[in-house]
Amino acid sequence: MNTNMRVPRYNYAAQFDADIEAICARVRSILLRGDYDQSPENAAFEEAFALFNGTRYARTVGCGTDALVLTLRALRIGAGDEVIVQANTFYATAAAIALAGATPVLADADDETYLIDMQSVRAALSPRTRAVIPVHLYGKPTPMQELSELSARHGFFIIEDAAQAHGAKIHGRNVGTFGIAGCFSFHASKNLSAAGDGGCVITDSLDLAQAIRAHRTHGQLVQHEHLVLGTNSKLDAIQATILHSKLSKLPQWNRLRREKARRYHDLLRDLPLGFQREDSLEEHVYHLFTIRTRERDSLLAHLRDQGIDAVVRYPCPIHLQPAFAAYDWRRGQFPVAEQLAEQLLCLPIRPDISDAEQEYVAAHVRSYFGVHAS
Ligand SMILES: *Cc1c(COP(=O)(O)O)cnc(C)c1O
């Protein structure tokens, strides 16, 4: 075993191949042409991303956070309205609700899937509930059937946070297509990434697609007619052309991520670890590969000492973040989310991670537990 290996979380060079010359040529022509933000590249990417997901419309925006905020605003969800979200998500999901002027209401996580817990959602429902935002966390699709039935019965919207799950599927159907809208991020860390920030909302609703268009361009559908209190949140032509080029490789990358995850499962079998449950009718796309242990912090330090870029996502649940102090949430209120924050660790996973890298990571997880390679 190579004792001086480094196993990084990202390898951007591996996301490009011979196509990098073609991308650079397109960027060059965009630079010389102008027309940066109402660009044909943007329209072409929107069409391709809608087709990829199987929705009528895709509307690009400046980032994943704006995808959520603008969707809420476009659905006229704001002051006095409640939106339910899980306590174990990235800050932006909960912040988007507050930034739109609505009240975030938290649900706990499921102990095996780490996704939103349905019993907790039912307990959190009120006459003011206007939406539930399930997060397809770490790339695992949230089961949608029960939530869809509840949504039909209670009349709230489902807005999917698919920022970590581009191309993940349930019964062959892409996440982001089950609710009124699916919200995506193209931040550099995500499975489909721009060279900077970007985001997108997909939907079958023409009304919502039009409203997102207005909200992302100062409330306008035609120039100088400001219909709603919109903001400025657009994807530029350069990002659109990069994303469009990468989109054709995403299915292969997701396949590879699933293979690498299976390999980790094999290599780490028989260790005292928990794993996010995988269900047979879904396609988890392993944005992150998590392992669960009570000894998380010391295992993390051990792996980092060995040059392995393991990280914690997320070390502090929403209800304990200072930014949300005004909501009067207490420690102990969402016990599963708190436990996950203390026990989950992400091992490096990339479409291009090599067998040798995975063996090296697994060998050091095993050595921590005093178990040697089988
Ligand atoms: C990344 C992410 C976001 C926010 O996306 P940005 O593009 O960084 O604004 C929202 N929700 C989840 C679950 C994310 O992982």
Three-state DSSP class for residue 98: helix
Residue 325 has pLDDT above 80, yes or no: yes
Question: Does residue 185 have its Cβ closer than 6 Å to ligand 1?
Answer: yes
Task: Find the 13 Cα to ligand 1 centroid distance in Å.
Answer: 22
Grade residue 371 by pLDDT with cuts at 50, 70 and 90.
confident
Q: Where are the beta strands (DSSP E) in the chain?
A: 57-61, 82-86, 103-107, 129-133, 157-161, 169-170, 173-174, 181-185, 199-203, 274-275, 282-283, 289-292, 344-347
Question: If you take atom 14 of ligand 1, which residue's CA is the nearest one?
Answer: 163
- Residue 199 CA: which ligand 1 atom is closest? 7
Contact yes or no for 86/109 (Cβ under 8 A): yes
Q: Which of 187, 233, 234 to mutate to test the pocket of ligand 1 (most atoms within 8 A of CB)?
A: 187
**Count of H helices and E strands in the chain?**
12, 13
Question: Does residue 63 have its Cβ closer than 6 Å to ligand 1?
Answer: yes
Return the pLDDT at 177. Answer: 98
Task: Find the 76 Cα to ligand 1 centroid distance in Å.
Answer: 21
- Residue 287 CA: which ligand 1 atom is closest? 15
Mean pLDDT across the stretch 8-15? Answer: 95
| Least-confidence region, from 36-45, 75-84, 151-160, 286-295 | 36-45
- Residue 187 CA: which ligand 1 atom is closest? 7
Task: Find the 271 Cα to ligand 1 centroid distance in Å.
Answer: 32
Q: What's the distance, CA 129 to chain centroid?
A: 23
| CB-based burial label for 16 (10 Å; 0-12, 13-18, 19+) | middle
Question: Does residue 163 have its Cβ closer than 6 Å to ligand 1?
Answer: yes
Mean pLDDT across the stretch 221-238? Answer: 96
Q: Where are the beta strands (DSSP E) in 38-144?
A: 57-61, 82-86, 103-107, 129-133
Contact yes or no for 86/107 (Cβ under 8 A): yes
Return the pLDDT at 1. Answer: 56
Mean pLDDT across the stretch 89-94? Answer: 98
Return the pLDDT at 2. Answer: 57
Instruction: In whole angstroms, give the CA distance from residue 70 to residue 160.
Output: 13
Task: Find the 170 Cα to ligand 1 centroid distance in Å.
Answer: 21
Return the pLDDT at 38. Answer: 80
pLDDT above 70 covers what percent of the chain? Answer: 98
Return the pLDDT at 37. Answer: 80
Grade residue 353 by pLDDT with cuts at 50, 70 and 90.
very high
Return the pLDDT at 18. Answer: 86
Instruction: In whole angstroms, give the CA distance from residue 278 to residue 262.
Output: 10
Three-state DSSP class for residue 321: coil
Residue 170 has pLDDT above 70, yes or no: yes
Task: Find the 197 Cα to ligand 1 centroid distance in Å.
Answer: 10
Task: Find the 67 Cα to ligand 1 centroid distance in Å.
Answer: 9
Copy the structure tokens of residue 104.
């975030």
What phi and psi values does residue 321 have, to the nearest 5 degrees?
Answer: -80, 135
- Residue 190 CA: which ligand 1 atom is closest? 1
Residue 127 has pLDDT above 60, yes or no: yes
Copy the structure tokens of residue 125.
């429902």
Mean pLDDT across the stretch 333-338? Answer: 98
- Residue 66 CA: which ligand 1 atom is closest? 9
Residue 341 has pLDDT above 60, yes or no: yes
- Residue 185 CA: which ligand 1 atom is closest? 7
Contact yes or no for 139/113 (Cβ under 8 A): no
| CB-based burial label for 373 (10 Å; 0-12, 13-18, 19+) | exposed
Question: Does residue 341 have its Cβ closer than 6 Å to ligand 1?
Answer: no
Question: Does residue 142 have its Cβ closer than 6 Å to ligand 1?
Answer: no
> Average pLDDT over the chain, rounded to whole?
96
Q: Which residue has the higher pLDDT, 24 or 374?
A: 24
Grade residue 373 by pLDDT with cuts at 50, 70 and 90.
low
Question: Does residue 93 have its Cβ closer than 6 Å to ligand 1?
Answer: yes
- 308: which strand partners? 7
Q: Closest Cα to residue 347, out of 312, 314, 310?
A: 310
What phi and psi values does residue 2 have, to the nearest 5 degrees?
Answer: -65, 120
Return the pLDDT at 260. Answer: 98
- Helix, strand, coil shares of the chain, percent, nearest 5, are 40, 15, 40
